[in-house]
Amino acid sequence: MEQCFPENALTEEEANDVAFHSFPDSMSMELQIRSSVRDSTFFFRIRRSTPRSTANGPIAGGPDDEHRGSPYTASNFLYGFVFCRQRSDERLKRGGEQKSVAVLSSMPYSSVLSPLSQHAGPLYFNKGPSALRQVYEEVQQWDPPAPGLRGMVPVGSMPIPAQVPASCTLPAAPPWPEDATHPLAPLPSVRQANGVDTTQGSFYEVDVWLPLEAVMEKCWVLWELIVLAQPLMVIAPSPGACSAAVAALISLITPLPYAADFRPYFTIHDSVFLQLSAQELPSNSNSLPRLLGVTNLYFLKALPGWPNVLSTGARPQAVSGQMPANGSASQSAAEASAQPQKGSRLQRLNAAVKKRSAGTQILLSEHVQALWHSYKPLTRPDRSLLDRLLHPHASDPPARRARAAAANSAALRHHFGELTSAFLQPFTAFWQPTGPPPGNGPVPVQGAPHLPAFSHTEFLESLAQQTLPSILTERFGNQGTVIAFYKRFLESPNFAAWFERQREAAWAWQESEWAAAAAVRGEGADLSGLDEVQIVEAFFELEHTLESTLAAVQQPNASAQAIARVAALKRGLGSVYEAMPRDLQQTMLSSPARAALLQSLSVQADFEKRVNPNDQAQMSLLEEMRAHVKKLEEIRKNEDPRLSFATPEFKEAQRTFTEHFKRNFDRPVEWGMIKDYPWSTPQLRKLDVPVTVDGKPWPLDASGKPILKDVAAS
């Protein structure tokens, strides 16, 4: 890497990864004519060696440190949008050279960053390295991106459209922003070439038609594979073709974000390749990439067990002179697709059957566009949509073919957007937030109600009682097949990340609205219309909320809003306690910890002031309260304050105990529940050979006794 702006933005490992992914490998170089120049554009995605947030600029946009490691941590990955120039010259030592300019970002804003790389690349080759610094300084002046807003950003004399999708639709979506709108509010839309508005999601601007034209009837199978994040390898002749195909596939599932790891352009130099070449397939138990875009056919030999393979794109023709920067992948594919197929229909059918039976190994001898999959699909193609698609002729001018491709892409994106939205619709009931009660009275101090609980089993059972959208039953055939696909989806990483984020978004919006209302109207314990059972439930709810809020207040950076909320919760808890009948109050005092809590709320002091000395029941309750408090004080007299459940010391001790417990305290397992036969009742017996908690043989010494190690030392 010759230069990087800003300096030291990458580690040495990241710089090497960027360099290896910024050039086409030897299998995709098609410089067959000497003294020729070839420009190409593509993008890649690599894992960062040290996930972190950075300053503003092209390599920016990551979340705070507290979100590292979550499924939404965008800064764990780095996107590179590349402009590559390959020049063949026999006067040079190696007969040619290749250089690339890459725009790096932690967010996949392809609609902005891809044109930026196509602008910065030629500037660098025409004016030298100083042009890159100038571009970087101009980008630093850009306003932060705002999803859905249309506008232009300047780079020199060239304006670039600055419209980015909503963050919740992006791969590895970042946490919900603090100023978020209602979680069920419509997402930003974009006007397609056919005049229809569709959700502005990931890679909304890419061409869907050209990468998938040859396998158009398999688009619904591909949609299932991407929704479920099934392993899929995309093979294409060039980095531009494979990265464009990966982007097109991800855009089909908008508004669902693709949560699994994906690599639009993957090379053997990536560190993950070692794991994959060991025949370890992606699964929910690892973080291996599930969607790969490759150009090197060696992957077919190195990963023979990959279950689903898509071959797309046309091999670019040899050129003389300079090709347009954005034409190496899509333009060649468009020209190839417009060529008439040779041979009779029967001959083409026989050739297709032969290629199908040969499997992916046929790609080692010739490039064909096809989909091989071991996945069993549940959907069926929409024939009416396929009939509406435009098919350009070989005699059509390039401009007409481009318009046909844009219209087809718009139709496909609209169809699959409706299909995905209809599929996700039944889940919305589980993150429907509740706003504060209307009126000008105090907001209930117990806060917003909990979101509805979610159970996989109950959800699947409820689907059988619902009338599902017609687009689902048309594509899946019947309601039972739809439910079968929902069951598959619930086990996918896309569901887990998306559902968790939507719930977090609903709860964050709910908390914000209730806090804003409480700031204006105040908080109080609204007990009107509640019976005894509901009052007790309100007490326990407030008690739980107060405990969690107190733990938050003990943190060094506790906000004034949290401290004020503790005071409001204490007042509310005292009010609920006073509203209870005396027998319930006595029951509440049976817990010494709760008695101390009520004492801290000045309940006892207030009660002593208002108690009637002539009321035997009130005096009995007061004496019981005093006795519980005194007993608790005796218990806590010699208590170590570090044993509090909220202290870091206790949490560390709890973590250490849990780790040792999982390892059986580093002792061998010598007894187990044994079954003589599969239908027998398990019986506790001593094992012939001691084993570890994983079932592996425990190491023994020369005398056959287990070798033990000190737990404290471990």
Domain ranges of the chain: 1-165, 188-315+329-338+345-415, 649-714
Task: Give the closest residue to 302 by CA, choosing from 276, 281, 283.
Answer: 276
Helix (H) or strand (E) holding 684, with range, is: strand 683-691
pTM for the complete prediction? 0.72
Q: For residue 386, what pLDDT is reported?
A: 94
Q: Which range among 105-114, 214-223, 513-522, 658-667 has the greatest average pLDDT?
A: 214-223
Q: Which residue has the higher pLDDT, 580 or 622?
A: 580
- Decide: 337 and 314 in contact? Cβ < 8 Å: yes
Q: Which range among 243-247, 434-438, 543-547, 561-565 has the greatest average pLDDT?
A: 243-247
Burial (CB < 10 A; 0-12, 13-18, 19+), residue 311, is: buried
Q: For residue 627, what pLDDT is reported?
A: 74
Q: For residue 714, what pLDDT is reported?
A: 41
Measure the CA–CA gap between 466 and 482, rounded to whole angstroms.
Answer: 12
Task: Give the closest residue to 45 by CA, choosing from 217, 227, 289.
Answer: 289
Q: For residue 427, what pLDDT is reported?
A: 94
Model confidence at 479, pLDDT cuts 50, 70, 90, reads very high
Q: For residue 330, what pLDDT is reported?
A: 45
For the chain, the first-to-last Cα distance in angstroms comes to: 43
Q: Which amino acid is at 307?
A: P
Q: For residue 188, what pLDDT is reported?
A: 67
Per-chain mean pLDDT for the chain: 79
Q: Which residue has the higher pLDDT, 294 or 398?
A: 294
Q: For residue 568, what pLDDT is reported?
A: 72
What percentage of residues in the chain have a pLDDT greater than 70?
75
Beta-carbon contacts of residue 80 (< 8 Å; ≥ 6 apart) = 18, 21, 22, 43, 44, 45, 46, 102, 103, 104
Q: For residue 514, what pLDDT is reported?
A: 76
Q: Strand, coil or helix: what is 370?
A: strand
Q: Strand, coil or helix: what is 267?
A: coil
Secondary structure letter of residue 261 according to DSSP: -
Task: Give the closest residue to 67 by CA, choosing from 178, 175, 176, 173.
Answer: 175
Q: For residue 337, what pLDDT is reported?
A: 46
Write down the residue that tokens 């549940």 correspond to: 378
Write down the residue that tokens 């209809």 correspond to: 422
Secondary structure letter of residue 41 according to DSSP: E
Residue 449, CA distances (Å) to 81, 195, 436, 594 in order: 45, 42, 10, 23
Write down the residue that tokens 């594509």 correspond to: 475
Q: Strand, coil or helix: what is 672?
A: strand
Average pLDDT over residues 584-601: 73
- Decide: 259 and 494 in contact? Cβ < 8 Å: yes
* SS3 letters across 389-447: CCCCCCCCCHHHHHHHHHHHHHHHHHHHHHHHHHHHHHHHHHHCCCCCCCCCCCEECCC
Under the phi-then-psi rule, with left for phi > 0, alpha for psi from -120 to 50, and beta for the rest, what region is 229?
A: left
Measure the CA–CA gap between 392 and 405, rounded to whole angstroms.
Answer: 9
Q: Which string of DSSP letters, residue by residue, matches 153-166?
A: EEETTEEEE-----
b/e string for 35-49 if b means 16 or more Cβ within 10 A?
Answer: ebbbbbbbbbbbbbb
Length, in residues, of the chain: 714
Torsion sign over Cα 360, 361, 364, 367: negative
Q: For residue 58, what pLDDT is reported?
A: 44
pLDDT tens-digit map of 373-388: 999 999 999 999 999 9
Flag whether pLDDT at 323 surpasses 90.
Answer: no
Q: For residue 199, what pLDDT is reported?
A: 76
Tokens of 18: 């960027």
Beta-ladder partners of 235: 294, 311
Angle at 437 between CA 432 and CA 441, to 5 degrees: 165
Average pLDDT over residues 97-107: 90
Model confidence at 83, pLDDT cuts 50, 70, 90, reads very high
Secondary structure letter of residue 46 according to DSSP: E
- 416 φ/ψ angles, rounded to the nearest 5 degrees: -75, -25
Residue 136, CA distances (Å) to 118, 120, 140, 490, 593 in order: 14, 9, 6, 43, 60
Average pLDDT over residues 283-307: 91
- Decide: 549 and 569 in contact? Cβ < 8 Å: yes
Cβ neighbours, 10 Å, residue 184: 13
Measure the CA–CA gap between 449 and 452, rounded to whole angstroms.
Answer: 9
Average pLDDT over residues 205-215: 92
Residues 457, 175, 64, 202, Cα dihedral to 10°: 120
Tokens of 354: 């032969």
Flag whether pLDDT at 65 surpasses 90.
Answer: no
Cβ neighbours, 10 Å, residue 712: 7
Cβ neighbours, 10 Å, residue 482: 22
Flag whether pLDDT at 22 surpasses 80.
Answer: yes
Q: Strand, coil or helix: what is 250?
A: helix
Q: Which residue has the higher pLDDT, 141 or 151?
A: 141
Q: For residue 245, what pLDDT is reported?
A: 96
Q: Which range among 59-63, 122-126, 392-396, 693-697 has the greatest average pLDDT?
A: 122-126
- Decide: 336 and 330 in contact? Cβ < 8 Å: no
Torsion sign over Cα 577, 581, 586, 591: negative
Q: For residue 472, what pLDDT is reported?
A: 95
Within 228-289, where are the H helices?
239-251, 272-277
Measure the CA–CA gap between 667 and 690, rounded to whole angstroms.
Answer: 9
- Decide: 117 and 103 in contact? Cβ < 8 Å: yes
Helix (H) or strand (E) holding 83, with range, is: strand 77-88
Within 522-615, where are the H helices?
532-553, 560-578, 582-588, 592-600, 603-610
Model confidence at 61, pLDDT cuts 50, 70, 90, reads very low
Write down the residue that tokens 């009275």 correspond to: 441
Average pLDDT over residues 108-117: 92
pLDDT tens-digit map of 228-281: 999 999 999 999 999 999 999 999 999 999 999 999 999 998 888 988 888 888
